[in-house]
Amino acid sequence: MTEGNFVDYVKVNISSGNGGKGSAHFRREKYITKGGPDGGNGGRGGHVIVVTDKSLWTLYHFKYQRHFKSDHGGDGGKSRSSGADGKDTYIRTPLGTIIKNSDTNEIIHETLKDGEEKIILEGGMGGLGNWNFKSSTNQAPRYSQPGIKGKEMQITLELKVLADVGLVGFPNSGKSTLLKTITSAKPKIGNYEFTTLKPNLGIVEYRNYKSFIIADIPGIIEGASKGKGLGHYFLRHIERNSILLFLVSSESEKIVDRYNILLNELKQYNPELMDKDRIIAISKSDLINKSRMTEIGLEIEKNIKNIPYSFISSVSNIGLTELKDDLWKVLNN
């Protein structure tokens, strides 16, 4: 999936169908001069329905269609025949999509199960035909109900990436290089901040044909939880990852401080992220000697309790097998 094809936020206009009007028909046949009312009911308008489709990874298909409108219900007919229901409109969305009312920002639905269907906007009810209003005191009602009009709404679709492991780190900390090295993904890589502008997904092949999914998420900067930099644009993608892999460059003078800044931004954005499992990886470890590695290890063990850490280099393939072992172990615990 190329960066340009990854779309995780769209606004869509939807309209449900009008209900058909009821019929005010009277039965008229040869030799039956007063057949009475026999007008049928109108059909309901078409619903707008969201369908969860696990084969989709992005909201890119909405780039070409932003308006969805369901058919109107048919009018009632004679002989108490009901009008046809309007054709429903189905909107396919990936797993992990949140659907909101654009005006109120209220969450309407969240897609979590493949094949799940949810009516987002109901079609209008069909009107009743005149035969429904016949009574002992009103033998020949000449009226029927009009159908109820459908509804219109603008909805916002927000995709939160579903991955086993989410890469968390500052810009230019080596996340994209790591993803490219241990998966078949081909993210954009460059020696400057915000090379990654959209989340990238890759499948890590593990031992005995096992695998797990890892997501490279645009780099965090201090103040991101308040919208600074790319801000909330990427933080929502971290919410659905099982493990958070913190990548801190060995070039940083104070490794623990850099880790704490990242952790604080996640906490400010959503305190529930603190409940997720964490692993620390010191990237670009080929640039430091063993003495510096020992110094960093002691610093981490002293200030960060019960968090596994390792030294890696995506360029030199140092520590990558051990890192995958650690990730698999935590995932299966």
| Inter-helix orientation angle 320-331/175-182, to 10° | 90
CATH fold of 165-331? Rossmann fold (3.40.50)
Supply the pLDDT for residue 266. 86
Nearest CA-CA partner of 327 in 293, 292, 257, 276: 276
The pairing of beta strand 211-216 with beta strand 200-205:
antiparallel
Supply the pLDDT for residue 209. 79
3-state SS assignment for residue 278: strand
Sequence-ordered alpha helix ranges (H) in 175-242: 175-182, 232-238
Q: What share of the chain is helix, strand, coil (3-state, %, to 5)?
A: 25, 25, 50
pLDDT tens per residue across all 333 residues of the chain: 444 456 778 999 999 999 999 999 998 877 776 778 999 999 999 999 999 998 887 888 898 899 999 999 999 999 899 999 999 999 999 888 999 999 999 999 999 899 999 999 999 999 999 999 998 888 889 999 999 999 999 999 988 777 788 888 888 788 888 888 888 655 444 444 444 446 677 788 888 878 888 888 775 655 544 544 444 556 667 777 789 999 999 988 889 999 999 898 888 888 888 888 999 999 999 999 999 999 999 999 999 988 999 999 988 989 999 999 999 999 887
For the chain, the domains span 1-159, 165-331
Supply the pLDDT for residue 166. 86
CATH fold of 1-159? Spo0b-associated Gtp-binding Protein; Chain: A, (2.70.210)
Length of the chain: 333
Gap between the terminal Cα atoms of the chain: 30
Please tell me the distance from the alpha carbon of residue 1 to that of residue 3, in angstroms, as a whole number: 7
Supply the pLDDT for residue 224. 44
Answer whether 1-159 and 165-331 agree in fold: no
Supply the pLDDT for residue 217. 74
Buried b (16+ CB within 10 A) or exposed e, 202-226: bebebeeeeebbbbbbbbbbeebbe
Supply the pLDDT for residue 190. 45
Please tell me the distance from the alpha carbon of residue 194 to that of residue 76, in angstroms, as a whole number: 60
Supply the pLDDT for residue 231. 43
Contact 70, 86 (CB under 8 A): yes
Contact 244, 307 (CB under 8 A): no
Please tell me the distance from the alpha carbon of residue 222 to that of residue 228, in angstroms, as a whole number: 8
